[in-house]
Structure formats: C-alpha cells, structure tokens
Amino acid sequence: DIVLTQSPGTLSLFPGERATLSCRASQSLTRTSLAWYQQKPGRAPRLLIYGVSSRAAGISDRFSGSGSGTDFTLTINRLEAEDYAVYYCQQYGSSPLSFGGGTKVEIK
C-alpha cells in the first residue's frame, strides 16, 4: 500500500504570502496519479488539482501542483482569506486509494 505523508502539519501564514505544501509517497507513483483537495470546517472536500498539476474546473490559478515520483507540492500564491483550510493529497494510481494526513493552513 502507498502511504502519503504530508508536511508540515500546520502552516501559519499572513494573507498575501505563498503557501508551499508537501506530499511524499512511500513508493514512486507510476502515473501522474496525484490529486489535491481543500476542506473547510464542516464542509465536504473539494477537488483542486488532479494529474499532479491540472486544475479542476473553477479553481483559481493561484493554486498550482507540481512534482513527480515520490515528491509532490501544492503551491498557493497570494493567500486569501478563503484559502485558509485543510489540504489533502490523494494517490489514485495504486490500489488501495490513499490520502495523506492533511496540512492545515491557518492565518498568522
């Protein structure tokens, strides 16, 4: 099974700053089969990024994904109030599907 480790656990940033979130896989992903989700308190997750770097419909271009092999990054440029949330990575190239433990982006 592929284990995804996200870091840091919490990221404290001012509005306008850049957030860099990491997701490391225990094995190399054989395809570009990595997605990122955003979840706000009391809400369902929302797809942000799929295929490592493709933005989902309606997602701001301030969100970008990159990486390959075992190391992946979600970057959020110019943080806005609506971006403060928990972010999860997910791999879907290998069964069972798995999620990382999440990174909380909080207002500093």
Partner 1 sequence: EVQLLESGGGLVQPGGSLRLSCEASGFTSSSFGMSWVRQAPGKGLEWLSSISNSGGSTYYADSVTGRFTISRDNSKNTLFLEMNNLRVEDTAVYYCAKDRSWYGSGSFLDSWGQGTLVTVS
- List contacts with partner 1 (CB under 8 A): 33, 35, 37, 39, 43-47, 50, 56, 88, 90, 92-102
Burial label, 16 (beta-carbon count in 10 A; 0-12, 13-18, 19+): exposed
- Min dist CB 39 to partner 1, Å, is 8
- Maximal C-alpha separation, the chain: 38
Closer CB to partner 1, residue 16 or residue 44? 44
- Min dist CB 10 to partner 1, Å, is 13
